[in-house]
Amino acid sequence: MCGINGIYAYSPDAPGVERTELLRTRDAMQVRGPDGAGSWYSADGRIGLGHRRLAIIDLSELGAQPMSTSDGRYTVSFNGEIYNYAELREQLALTGTSFRSHSDTEVLLHLYRRDGADMVRHLRGMYAFAIWDAQECRLFLARDRHGIKPLYYADDGKTFRFASQVQALLAGGALQRRVSPGGLTGFLIWGSVPEPLTFYQGIRELPAGHTLHVTLHGAQAPLAYWRLGDALVQSIEAARAIPIGQEIDILRQALADSVRAHLVADVPVGAFLSAGLDSTTLVGLAHEAGRNIQTFTVTADEFLGKPGDEAPAAAEAARHFGVPHTVASIALDHAHETIPAFLAAMDQPTVDGINTWMVTEATRRAGLKVVISGLGGDELLGGYESFDRIPAIQMKAFGWISQRWVGGAYGHAYALLANWLKQMPPRGSEKWSATGNPQAAYLWQRGLLMPWELAKLLPRDVYLAGLEELHLASTWEAMPQELPPFAQVSLLESTRYMRNQLLRDSDWVGMAHSLELRTPLVDQRLTEQLAGLAALGRFGKGKTALARILANGLPDAVLNRPKSGFTLPIWAWLHSVDELSGWKRNTWLRSRHARNPYTRWGYAVIARMPEMQGLLL
């Protein structure tokens, strides 16, 4: 995993690549790649690529980037891991391709030479990369199917810029730090900025499962090569043909295969271990695969001896598998010291990530560069309460009301607010409006704020512009009509919460500590194999089937522990850390109506930002 960036001055009217800008952007991502740095420029100075390296596969200089083919036609800057690169390398070698390195990066170059843009259909992994074709004067960018790795870009009509982080693009100096109304309102509603928007005007995120071409005529529209909704439809159809009784064997084989793939590395691999079924099962499968990986758990002093403390059950699971284990307990004083660093490293505003920051910090101190995480099990197998609640919300009232939401949740809210009602909608009316519409029901269930509550936090022109921008930006992935309720929620949780919050936070938090986070439960092949069976209820309720797939089972401390989630006492830190006192400026946030601590946390995160001056009430 690494940091990538580039500048392509495609218009004849644009000045050539300013090398100092390229290097400023690249080196703003130094923590993403402390093992090396590289840059490449075309002979005419119209394009430059940068790279910061965290060496995981082929640690030699032969794996350094940007990397070019021997004839100089293709050059790549790549962030991520291709787990099936050895298999692809063998296929390419059979057709006469010769390799100079043992890296997955070089496989990308030769695969693009053979298949062009269709190369992405052969890749298994997490990735964001850019390949320059000198003969066609064409820049090709791609992002993995689930959106594990980020890729941000800006296009002013003459010059195209891209990077692995938003703050790195801004550090280049060519872009202004103007807050996007859509990004701001989206953050306040959800606690994260929904793609393809970012928190800043003029910067977009390449959507997951999309590619993008930039030619001498400019950037073309992103093209989807994989959509989760389509994959769910296909997986359900395939699951109907699977005989009853084979579910657990398929679950075991698919998970074991994904874990083996995610253990591919030329450095040691560790694991986050909570007391939940997801991470415990992954550690057990890694142990069965012959990898005695080191495990890590984080807790807080406030939790010691209380039901919310995961540490004892996690330690018992580690003993059960016989793997080395480390517990890091976070004191309030340490939180005071750490939160400023957490906020300084934050790429885009988020109300989450502090828990991942703490365990990542402890893991990196142990000297590891790669760790696997149990992220994704709830979205795949139905571990959230939303899998019951959202279908129930949709059935609350008369189906015809849902016709008012044809324009989408944001469009409906915008229409209401644009008329400037003298009185806000009656409490609970938005819940009735969600009838029959899974996206609106999801907004009611998962949103930190209802859109009309933005009037308590933002000037009227800002939130109206923001809701309109959200409505026009297509931030919701298309929902196939044939999906059953379980699959609808799985699609929503995966493309909204997991993609925009959990995966994004895992990337920037891990990279802030030069640590690669891998997610075996967020994998294209796994999704296509298991999502249909889960949607048809073939695994039983939630994630209970995971307890049945390990040869030596799971310890009672894990099996009998109620689900609590992986959390830390941010509500205590919010009140005690001066850096996060901004929420206290707003009367409504201090009132009994704003009970959600994540709403206050989010307001505090952005209130400290200089560019937010004048945009908050």
Decide if 2 is catalytic.
yes
- Type of residue at 322: G
Q: Per the residue annotation, which of 1, 2, 88, 277 is the catalytic one?
A: 2
Determine the straight-line distance between the first and last CA of the chain, rounded to whole angstroms.
Answer: 40
- The helix or strand, by DSSP H or E, that contains position 299, with its residue range, turns out to be strand 295-300
For 434-437, the CB contacts below 8 A with 24+ separation are 434/393, 434/394, 434/396, 434/402, 434/405, 435/393, 435/394, 435/395, 435/396, 435/397, 435/398, 435/399, 435/401, 435/402, 436/394, 436/399, 436/401, 436/402, 437/394, 437/402, 437/405, 437/409
Within 10 angstroms of residue 345's Cβ, the number of other Cβ atoms is 17
Can you spell out the DSSP letters for 580-597? Answer: G-GGGG-HHHHSTT---H
The string of DSSP letters for 551-575 reads: TT---HHHHTSPP--S---HHHHHH
β-pair type (223-224, 210-215): antiparallel
| CA-angle at 512, arms to 508 and 513, nearest 5° | 125
Count how many Cα atoms sit within 13 Å of the Cα of residue 215 in the half-sphere of its side chain. Answer: 6
Helix (H) or strand (E) holding 78: strand 74-82
Asked if residue 238 lies in contact with residue 531, where contact means CB atoms within 8 angstroms, the answer is: no
State the alpha helices, DSSP H only, in 59-152.
85-94, 104-115
Active site residues: 2
